[in-house]
Amino acid sequence: MTRLIVRRLLLGLLTLWLISLVVFAAMLALPGDAATAILGREATPERVAALRDQLNLEDSVVSQYLQWIGGVITGSFGESAATQQPVSELLSERVGNSLFLVFVASIVAIPLSIVIGVWLAMKRDKPVDHVGSTVSLILAALPEFVIGLGLVLLFATSVFQWFPAVSLLAPGERAWEAPEYVVLPAATLVLAVTPYISRIMRGSMVEVLESEYVTMARLKGLPERTVIWRHAVPNAIVPAIQVAALQLAWMAGGVVLVEYVFSYPGIGQLLVEAVANRDMLVVQAVVMLAAAVYVLMNLVADLATILVTPKLRTAAR
């Protein structure tokens, strides 16, 4: 089993390296001179020169890349062209908030989806199941910013005025100290993610309930509770875990729109601002971070699958 894990890790690192190449290439895709393009209207000769120096634009492309990636690994991402703050500072102010948001959303969404999935599978084809599948279909279709705006319209403005529409937190502040600003964004993420996980859970539960070994368990005269929880669920939950990890990975991108809708001070909002300002160094840093999270969560998904499937766990011995 360790061989399998090591192999996955190495593959993950390879992917990360290839990703860094793509992210770096974005800098090369800037039209004309990179420094001028980034500074845009604020391109005074001194600032252009300073930025060219910082970006090592005089060096060869390979050298630029190595210097950049070296910085990334050691945690120094350069300076923001818009605010002149070190990028790492900008990130650290906000990463905590984004992580908190994702954490809250996951803690709610994952158990909720699994329970809904198991329950709907047991009520298969009854009216509740049809309602559940329709609601799931609708939520899965809607883009997350539509869900977010919908929640704003419902709970922050005309209908009920329970929660603030826009967060008034400054970037440095910690979201968990003002939880009312987290409720709606987290709820948006939960609504975006739950339909996928619960649909997979329901589907795999239904399939497992029809399987030969569950029929066999019933023919052995076991109590129904044992059949469901000892025989069915451990097999049915495997695809749901994979999907859950993938949804967590998706949230690395999902936060972007959600934070923008609610002006929530996380790295998603940072990214959108940076794109609008063409603040490339910030953009690159946030994208690398997001991609790294994605690769990590995929690794977690693979590992969780191996741990939970006896066939895979014992095979590599």
Partner 1 sequence: MSGQAVDTAVGVGLEVPPSAGPGAPSLQKRAWLGILRNALRLGRTKIGVAIVLLLIAIALFGPLIAPHSPTAFIGVPNTGPSSDALFGTDALGRDVWSRFLNGGRSVLWMSVAATLLGVGLGVIIGLVAAYARNWLDDVLMRASDVVLAFPQIILALLAVSAIGSKLWLIVVVVAIGHVPRVARVIRAAAQEVVERDFVKAAEAVGEKRSRIVFGELLPNVTSPLLVELGLRMTYSIGLIAAVSFLGLGLQPPSSDWGLMINENRLSITVQAWAVVVPVIAIGLLTIGTNLITDGIARAAIGIDGRSNR
Partner 2 sequence: MSTAVEVRDLRIELVGRDADVVDEITLEIEPGEVLGLVGESGSGKTTVGMALLGHVRRGGRVGGGAVVIDGRDLAELDASGLRGLRGGTVAYIPQDPGTALNPALRLRTQLREMLDSHGAGSDGERGARMREALEEVALPSDDAFLARYPHQLSGGQQQRVAIAMAFACRPNVIVCDEPTTGLDVTTQARVLQTVRELCRSHSVAALYVSHDLAVVAELADRVAVMYAGRIVELGTRDQLFGAARHPYTRRLLRAVPDIQGQRAVVGIPGFAPLPGRRPDWCFFEPRCELATDKCRSAFPPAFEFEAGHRARCYHADEAVRDVPVEGGVEEVHVQREPELALAIRNLDAHHGEHHTLFGVELEVHRHECVALVGESGSGKTTLARCVAGLHKDFTGAVCLGSEELPPAARSRSAEARKRIQYVFQNPYASLNPRRTVGQTIARQLELFFPRQKDMGRRVGESLERVALSPSAAEAYPDELSGGERQRVAIARALAAEPDLIVCDEITSALDVSVQAAIIDLLRELRTEMGLSLLFITHNLALIRTIADRVAVMTEGKIVELGTTAQVLERPSAPYTQQLLANTPSIAAVA
**Three-state helix/strand/coil letters over 125-140:** CCHHHHHHHHHHHHHH
**C-alpha 123: how far from chain center:** 31
- The token duo for 185 is 């964004």
Binding track over 193-232 against partner 2, x by CB under 8 A: -----------------xxxx-xxxxxxxxx--x---xx-
Q: Is 111 in the site for partner 1 (CB under 8 A)?
A: no
Backbone angles phi, psi at 200, to 5 degrees: -65, -45
Q: Is 95 in the site for partner 1 (CB under 8 A)?
A: no
Q: Confirm if 20 and 69 have CB atoms less than 8 A apart.
A: yes
Cα angle value 126/132/137 (rounded, 5°): 130
- 216 binding partner (options partner 2, partner 1, none; Cβ < 5 to 8 Å by kind): partner 2
The interface with partner 2 within residues 276-315 (CB under 8 A) comprises 309-311, 314
Which residues fall within 8 angstroms of residue 206, CB to CB, at 6 or more apart? 121, 124
Q: What is the dihedral of CA 20, 21, 26, 29, to 10 degrees?
A: 170
Closer to partner 2 by CB, 32 or 223: give it: 223
Q: Is 263 in the site for partner 2 (CB under 8 A)?
A: no
Q: Is 250 in the site for partner 1 (CB under 8 A)?
A: yes
**Which residues make up the interface to partner 2 (CB under 8 A)?**
210-213, 215-223, 226, 230-231, 234-235, 309-311, 314
**Which residues make up the interface to partner 1 (CB under 8 A)?**
14-16, 18-19, 22-23, 26-27, 29-31, 134, 137-138, 140-146, 149-150, 152-153, 157-158, 165, 249-250, 252-254, 256-257, 260, 271-272, 274-276, 278, 280, 283, 287, 290-291, 294-295, 298
